[in-house]
Amino acid sequence: EAGVAQSPRYKIIEKRQSVAFWCNPISGHATLYWYQQILGQGPKLLIQFQNNGVVDDSQLPKDRFSAERLKGVDSTLKIQPAKLEDSAVYLCASSPTGRVPNQPQHFGDGTRLSIL
Amino acid sequence: AQTVTQSQPEMSVQEAETVTLSCTYDTSENNYYLFWYKQPPSRQMILVIRQEAYKQQNATENRFSVNFQKAAKSFSLKISDSQLGDTAMYFCAFMKRVSWQGGSEKLVFGKGTKLTVNP
């Protein structure tokens, strides 16, 4: 089975610029997560989708971050405008659905974002 | 809110020896899961082991085992016969258990422990 795909792997931008990340979850996984991992810390959830609906976006800085999941498959995460503190690795994860809840999450390779 | 604490930022072990990584957590939930994830340098995060809180028996996966102490809210990972490929960041994570079909909750991670296995 193909894993969670993310692109790009690396991105360098200047502050106040915009950036977008893309994620394609494992086929059939209805739940998709975006995590932010700042250097030296564990990942922190930004947003969780169930199909194309938002389950949890309580820690998403909505003044600059946005995310969508069209048709319940691929997802994009956008930052506009970027700040220095947004430098981090952005991880996408997905988990399977079915009659059994609480399935483990599978992670992509992440996108490493550097803000100059 | 749940919190996860990993008090050992870095650890090292000699190849073939045993090492234990510590994790404590705080929650008011009674039904939950605990995980250890491994993140090798510049590589993706992978699941090492999972423990269901309502199970008293400690989970094991080959060379990896946990010591789950629910009352003490402690969840340590033991790696036996350490291998060079075990060098990685190890994250302890908490997930609240849900009962609705197809559902799952977010993971709450600790800050991680950097493990180095020396030849």
Q: Give the whole-angstrom CA distance, residue B92 versus residue A89.
A: 18
Output the domain CATH number for residue B61: 2.60.40.10
Q: Could you list the residue range(s) of the whole structural domain that residue B24 is in?
A: 3-118
Contact A3 B93 (CB under 8 A): no
Number of domains chain B is built from: 1
pLDDT digits (tens, 9 = 90+) for A15-63: 999 999 999 999 988 899 999 999 989 999 999 998 888 989 999 999 9
Residues of B in contact with A110 (CB under 8 A): 44
Closest partner residue to A42 (CB to CB) among B50, B91, B99 is B91
Q: Tell whether A6 lies on the interface with B, counting CB pairs under 8 A.
A: no
pLDDT (tens digit per residue) in B74-119:
999 999 999 999 999 999 999 988 766 656 788 999 999 999 999 9
Could you give all domains of chain A from N- to C-terminal order, each with its CATH number? 5-115 (2.60.40.10)
